[in-house]
Structure 1
Amino acid sequence: MENLSELIKTLRERTGAGILECRKALTETNGDLEKAIDLLRQKGIAKAAKKAERETSEGRIGTATSSDRKRVSFVKLSCETDFVAKNELFADLVNNIAKVVLDANTDDINKILTLPYPGGKGSIDEQIKELIGKIGENMQLQEVAIIDAKKGIIDVYTHLGNKLAVMVEIHSDKQDVEELTKLAHELAMQIAIDNPDYICREDVPADIVDREREVIKASPELASKPDAVKDKIVDGKLGAFFGTCCLLELPYMRDGNLKINDVVSETSKKLGAKVDVICFKRASIGK
């Protein structure tokens, strides 16, 4: 038999089958590539390859959080239809992959695909291929991320049937996990709704602020205004701009009279210690 690893690679490319499946097929056919392809087709495994070019615009995001809330994994597994994205087998698959990723602490997709799937069911790649053959839709592991808390705790919120997931890290010198987790969850929900780009106005790059300021200044409604009045109007409109792109300046979803910064301050008062929003990540299917 010629180089087995090369044969396995070629067979995988032509059929989309998993590594172990290809190895078994080549062993049973004494290294005959075409016969191995036919064997995989007979077993219903190779049909996954025929679907490999189909667009996968639907899917689901799986997450897993460590018990100490210091690490979280994001896994984006795509499929072709919303119907499959809601399938229990598909949901179990993406959630289990997220757990494996968290334990393995890697975001290398190629490496992840070779890792053992929970329950001794071969590799993750083989499990994906098996479900492709069973359900009849293409699936792809599109994105993986591992996020380590810099100094705080993490909470995750998922929405729209796990088509949207948000992670928020917050920190306080007083580690009241229950209160901090509650606040982080509220912030994650707010981010899911409003999709801000930054935590606070100080995070907005100067060139973006300058560009927005110039756009405001060029507005026809300011042309006849005195400079002093014009400057006040510009500052006011810049404030409104920050109120759309900065998390802490967003109107609170449960009370429009409050800003998110007020909600954070309230938790700070309750804890008797400053609370800081460290970072956030928002991921969605199709984005």
Structure 2
Amino acid sequence: MAAINAKLVKELRDLTGAGIMDCKRALTETDGDIKKAIDVLREKGVAKAAKKSSRIAAEGLSEIKISGAKAVALEVNSETDFVAKNAEFQGLIDTLATHLLKEEPADVETALTQSLEGTGETVSEHITAAIAKIGEKISLRRFTVLHKNDDETFGAYLHMGGRIAALVKIKGGDADTAKDVAMHVAAIKPRYLTEKDIPEDVVAHEKDVLTKEALEEGKPANIVEKMIVGRLKKFFKEICLLDQPFVKDGDITVREFLKSKNAEASAFVRYEVGEGIEKKTENFADEVKAQMKQ
């Protein structure tokens, strides 16, 4: 049996990022064969990652990457905000962003099956390796790729270090105008660009809710219909980017701000980390103890 010395353990640790004892055990199991030891660690990493698959990952980071005429906004989730500050986690996000910009997969499921350039792994396998290394469930939750023409400009804004990411595309104007609109998107949280972009089921649901509210107020049925028209219009203005009061000047709408800059907005993306995910509340001390037992 080959001698498992500290130098060999360090070499394996540098290559994989695994813990010292995990590296020593893998080297012992493979009689000092580095390549086989890496495979052993990866196999064990997959097993560890599988155990973490049922956990809730509602923290993490959103990111924006722009390259020429393309831009991507993405959200990658982790279990804790501590990991979100981890340099390796941030490096993973950058790697994923680069891949998404280049390959433009149709959806997350497709992205996970694609080969990740320079790694010999699929995107899914690369994330699994990161889970084994970092020690938390990690998932690529969502992404959007935008394209622009020569007369269009991207605007990007990250709030709270990536807690919220806003990406916009405008025609005309300049980079400062685009960034101002991105900041508005981050702050005010529009859901749609214009009224015509609101899905019919969303309009129908809101109309139904407003109708029930009006009837419960004791309003006559013939009056309710007129009330609903006005209340729907107010609702549309609250959720549509171009009709919202501009965050830097509430006396004008975003549409009017853009017009003053000879610009028009054509698309936007807003990601807020963990929105819509039901978070599990745990006692912090118990959480640390649970991590230590793994």
TM-score by length of 1: 0.66
SS in 1 for 2:96: helix
SS in 2 for 1:59: strand
Match of 2:256 among 242, 262, 284: 262
CA deviation profile, 1:169-205 (whole Å, cap 9, x unmatched): 2223xxxxxx432222222222222222222234445
Rounded to whole Å, the distance in 2 between the matches of 1:255 and 1:38 is 57
Question: Contact 2:62–2:165 (CA<8 Å) still a contact in 1?
Answer: yes
CA deviation profile, 1:230-265 (whole Å, cap 9, x unmatched): 95x666544422221111121111222222122112
Compared CA separation, residues 170 and 105, structure 1 to 2 (3 A): same
Deviation (angstroms), 1:39: 6.9
SS in 2 for 1:196: coil
SS in 2 for 1:50: helix
Partner in structure 1 of residue 117 of structure 2: 116
Matched, 1:185 2:179: yes
Matched, 1:211 2:207: yes
Partner in structure 2 of residue 277 of structure 1: 265
2:59 is matched by which residue type in structure 1? E
Match of 2:246 among 219, 234, 252: 252
Compared CA separation, residues 236 and 144, structure 1 to 2 (3 A): closer
Compared CA separation, residues 187 and 219, structure 1 to 2 (3 A): farther
Matched, 1:72 2:89: no
What root-mean-square deviation, in Å, do the aligned CA atoms of Structure 1 and Structure 2 show? 3.8
SS in 2 for 1:158: strand
Deviation (angstroms), 1:121: 8.4
Compared CA separation, residues 214 and 205, structure 1 to 2 (3 A): farther
2:54 is matched by which residue type in structure 1? E
Partner in structure 1 of residue 87 of structure 2: 88
Rounded to whole Å, the distance in 1 between the matches of 2:174 and 2:153 is 8
Deviation (angstroms), 1:81: 0.7
1:284 is matched by which residue type in structure 2? E
Deviation (angstroms), 1:133: 2.7
1:75 is matched by which residue type in structure 2? L
Deviation (angstroms), 1:98: 0.3
1:281 is matched by which residue type in structure 2? V
Percent of pairs with identical residues: 26
Question: Contact 1:158–1:164 (CA<8 Å) still a contact in 2?
Answer: yes
Rounded to whole Å, the distance in 1 between the matches of 2:248 and 2:50 is 48
The number of residues matched between the two structures is 236
2:66 is matched by which residue type in structure 1? T
CA deviation profile, 1:87-106 (whole Å, cap 9, x unmatched): 12211210222012212333
Rounded to whole Å, the distance in 2 between the matches of 1:202 and 1:129 is 41
Question: Contact 1:63–1:95 (CA<8 Å) still a contact in 2?
Answer: no
Question: Contact 1:121–1:127 (CA<8 Å) still a contact in 2?
Answer: no
Rounded to whole Å, the distance in 1 between the matches of 2:178 and 2:218 is 41
Partner in structure 2 of residue 131 of structure 1: 130
SS in 2 for 1:153: strand
Rounded to whole Å, the distance in 1 between the matches of 2:219 and 2:113 is 58
Partner in structure 1 of residue 163 of structure 2: 163
Runs of 5+ consecutive residues of structure 2 not aligned to the other structure = 1-25, 31-35, 277-294
Question: Contact 1:66–1:72 (CA<8 Å) still a contact in 2?
Answer: yes
Rounded to whole Å, the distance in 1 between the matches of 2:56 and 2:185 is 28
CA deviation profile, 1:213-236 (whole Å, cap 9, x unmatched): 746764737549x97xx95x6665
CA deviation profile, 1:33-57 (whole Å, cap 9, x unmatched): xxx8997259964533433332222
Deviation (angstroms), 1:158: 2.1
Compared CA separation, residues 111 and 152, structure 1 to 2 (3 A): farther
1:157 is matched by which residue type in structure 2? Y
Question: Contact 1:106–1:146 (CA<8 Å) still a contact in 2?
Answer: no
2:112 is matched by which residue type in structure 1? N
Rounded to whole Å, the distance in 2 between the matches of 1:78 and 1:206 is 31
Rounded to whole Å, the distance in 2 between the matches of 1:196 and 1:258 is 16
Question: Contact 1:199–1:246 (CA<8 Å) still a contact in 2?
Answer: yes
